[in-house]
Structure 1
């Protein structure tokens, strides 16, 4: 009945009898692609979204909202047997006459945004992967290449065009709706459907940087020290591993490798130096590939003034790399490059935050290796733990425009933001891989708590389904978010009827 009601008001914008498979191809994870909703709505305007919400609330329908579809877990932005509102056609872009504000439809991906702004020589605090959708990125946080200078994406939204639970359409601004404006800056999908973001623009200067690949030089000895040496067997996995080990040793002999200890020290050095250089942005990703039985480090460096070898990069820049793409280019070029490295499949993300400590980072690496070794036999497995620094200067931007709801204070920094990111292909391996991710994270958190180095913050855009994102914002902020939710959505439409993503 709800499908017919939607068709009555939205016509051909509703697909429910034969839903084209192409509507699911854009989801990043296979788990989301596999979801079968009762119908898909493709609104072309805020008014269409309003009509859809009115029908959904009238018929008490389960629904989900998709901007780019980059959330990993089942049901996050595709509603099983429910209604999926796909915002892809809300893709308008309009820069103001003075080029200070750009109105961005929430169905855009960052590729569209960057390409549109390029002729104006300006940019916005957007995604580092051009395939990521605008909506989820900005509502959950939004870490960018230029966040050290300008804050996260959510700190750079001037207005929100928002469809509320009663179907009304409002422009939310700090001056007119300070509480709701605050809540939308990190509060996710709990207050309505944002159909447009008006964002501050910034001059798009050329950056120096790129992808840098380094090998780990001490894995054989490291595995032995950890009590998990690889025993040779006449299996494909063992043969590949032994071959990779010999090749790795040859490469390391000519100086193209670093140790686990070096990685931990580099992150600490970057954090300290970056406080004095807001143009320096870097992160490191330890990665294991089961196809080659190899661990490596993928590191990204970017400098907003185009400076090669800036102090903010320290030993990471000086280390020899087996592969690097460092050059001078614009923001969009670097974001395109990151997209080529992020392939979809069966995926899992989870996250944790810690106070910066080199010994803790080294021990987290050990935990990661120990747990990954247990599943290294799985085919087409990629196991990684992206590590990035949230600096004090970065957090200081959270205070502008009335602050956001994340619960971070500049005094908390610098912080280590850890992510467990898993990629695999066989659904039979789902439980095994998810348990490994959980083990890595839970063991790391337990160790950090023992040392007084754990921070409760969970970054929404990296969080797993089991994680309490809004509880991590602190009791005071959670209570305020719920009070604002009760005021603007008294029937809890966006929590009760939209259960697939994080609820306050």
Structure 2
């Protein structure tokens, strides 16, 4: 492979292995200066040592560590860094009583403005809630909501364990889990939310509650996909599973010679009635720097070189390079983070359809046409990624008490999740990229409906601000989420005072 091709291939890995996370609604999150000053003063009476203000080093550190440029450019009146659930309890009580608008941040790895930061309001930065404790038999791990997944994976790897969390190392433990959460080993373990045994959460009344299968069980289920509508999650207890070394990495293909083979192989792989649940796959259509490629990210949850599960892909023509090897979940997670630079503008969307090679080929044509709308922009990365949803994931959901995602029944050939991940350098280009993303999304939906394959599920962690993911969960789950939010938050604190995130 030439040096130029290697450079392109390395950039391509960012799209294939680090799909951005984020959910937020396009709301005016600004707060009057007088109100915000009073809110910060109210917090200072009890939590002064944990508050930071503009011009302080702690404040600057918090802002600079957001993944996206848009997250870094939002300036709250003050930032609270709690070190315990009690701190969060005190803060929520004060903020709710004062009708103060606030945001809640876990890892800050969101893609849309306002999800985890708030202009002139109060941002609660949970990153210091990062304690990680294994149970005596190592079957459970208690994780602070602000713990980064890269750190968590490393801690667990030393014990020969893992959880099915999201991919990039910088993602916070709670954010992606509250949206469902898919990662490197989900076919065998389900969504990240499916491995949650218990949530610790501060509700709008300031109470610290535990939500599990026996205690507040409705809240436990609602949090498994319901986002930030119910309170501030401060700790999560996950069920662990044994895994040490894995096999994985990326293979890149030239579209002209590879797209037909990749589309058919993806469809056959996903529809295999003997699907190997150790096998996880992403396929990405990718454009950057005037160059278009297709990337496959393979992960196999055992140290098996070239496992038979991916056999349909090995003979494909048009391969540019292959970087698969025996590796680890922490290494894959670190690579995802390193290949997706901080400080860029980010836009995502999500769509779901019945698995089909014909649709993947339709979408290649649509994706290729969409490039014209963004190709001239500085540092543009334009990626449309596909991920299988197979029966083993749904079996895991059912075995662990269910979630609210509405994916209880799959067609025999399985479903495909589609995600756009667009990154670019300048804030002034946001309208143009957003319009191009909207056009691409409409074209994808139209193409899948034309073939009778559209599915209403929208992955919360990749949804665009204009989408309505909760309605895609089905009417029964949507009504359940609304009634549960009303029960635990009758004053609608997390619907009105926390404007970021999708609301019920």
| TM-score (norm: length of structure 1) | 0.89
Write the distance in 2 (CA, Å) between the matches of 1:350 and 1:276.
Answer: 28
Corresponding residue for 2:275? Answer: 276
CA contact (8 A) 1:392 1:412 kept: no
Aligned partners of 1:275 and 1:393 also within 8 Å: no
- Map residues 36-435 of structure 1 onto 2, 5 A cutoff: 36-216=75-255, 218=256, 258-273=257-272, 275-289=274-288, 291=289, 293-319=290-316, 321-344=319-342, 345-412=344-411, 414-435=414-435
> Is the 2:157–2:244 contact (alpha carbons within 8 Å) kept by the matching residues of 1?
no
Q: Deviations over 1:40-68 (max 9, x none)?
A: 11001000000110111011111110000
Write the deviation string for residues 138-188 of structure 1: whole angstroms up to 9, x where unpaired.
Answer: 111111222111111100011111101000001111112221111011011
* Mapped contact 1:274–1:391 kept (Cα < 8 A): no
Which residue of structure 1 aligns with residue 61 of structure 2?
22
Q: What do you get for the CA RMSD once the two structures are aligned?
A: 1.5
Q: Distance in 2 between matches of 1:275 and 1:65?
A: 42
- How many residues of Structure 1 are paired with residues of Structure 2 in the alignment? 462
CA apart distance, 1:450: 2.2
Taking the aligned partners of 2:157 and 2:376, their CA distance within structure 1 comes to: 45
Question: Could you say which structure has the greater relative contact order, defined with CA pairs below 8 angstroms and 6 or more residues apart?
Answer: 2
CA contact (8 A) 2:391 2:410 kept: yes
Deviation at 1:343?
Answer: 2.2
Q: Matched residue of 1:487: which SS?
A: helix
Alignment match, 2:489: 489
Separation of aligned partners in 1, 2:273 and 2:382: 28
Larger Rg computed on CA atoms: 1
| Equivalent pair of 2:352/2:458 in contact (CA under 8 Å) | yes
How many angstroms does 1:274 deviate by? 7.6
Q: 1:503: which partner in 2?
A: 503
Question: Partner residue of 2:46?
Answer: 9
Instruction: Note if contact 1:274-1:312 (Cα within 8 Å) is conserved in structure 2.
Output: no
Cα distance between partner residues in 1 of 2:329 and 2:364? 30
Distance 1:128 1:426 in 2: 26
Q: Distance in 2 between matches of 1:440 and 1:270?
A: 26
Structure 1 position 17, deviation (Å): 4.7
Measured in 2, the distance between the counterparts of 1:74 and 1:458 equals: 19
Offset of 1:213 from its aligned partner? 2.0
SS, match of residue 155 in structure 1: helix
Gap runs ≥5 in structure 1: 219-257
Name 2:474's counterpart in structure 1: 474
Mean CA deviation greater in 179-188 or 400-409: 400-409
Go from structure 1 to structure 2 and tell me whether the alpha carbon gap of 1:59 and 1:274 turns closer, same or farther (over 3 Å shift): farther
Q: Which runs of 5+ in 2 are unaligned?
A: 1-37
Question: How far apart, in 2, do the equivalents of 1:458 and 1:174 lie?
Answer: 26
Please state how far the C-alpha of 1:275 moved relative to its aligned partner: 4.7
Evaluate the alpha carbon distance shift between residue 402 and residue 118 of structure 1 in structure 2; reply closer, same or farther with a 3 A threshold.
closer
SS at match of 2:313: helix
User: Residues 396-434 of structure 1, C-alpha deviation per residue, up to 9 Å, x if partnerless?
Assistant: 222123210001123346111001111111222111111
Do the aligned residues in 2 keep the contact of 1:286 with 1:386 (CA within 8 Å)? yes
Tell me the distance in 1 between the aligned counterparts of 2:378 and 2:261: 29
Q: Please, what TM-score do these two structures have when normalized by structure 2?
A: 0.89
Distance 1:274 1:136, change over 3 A: farther
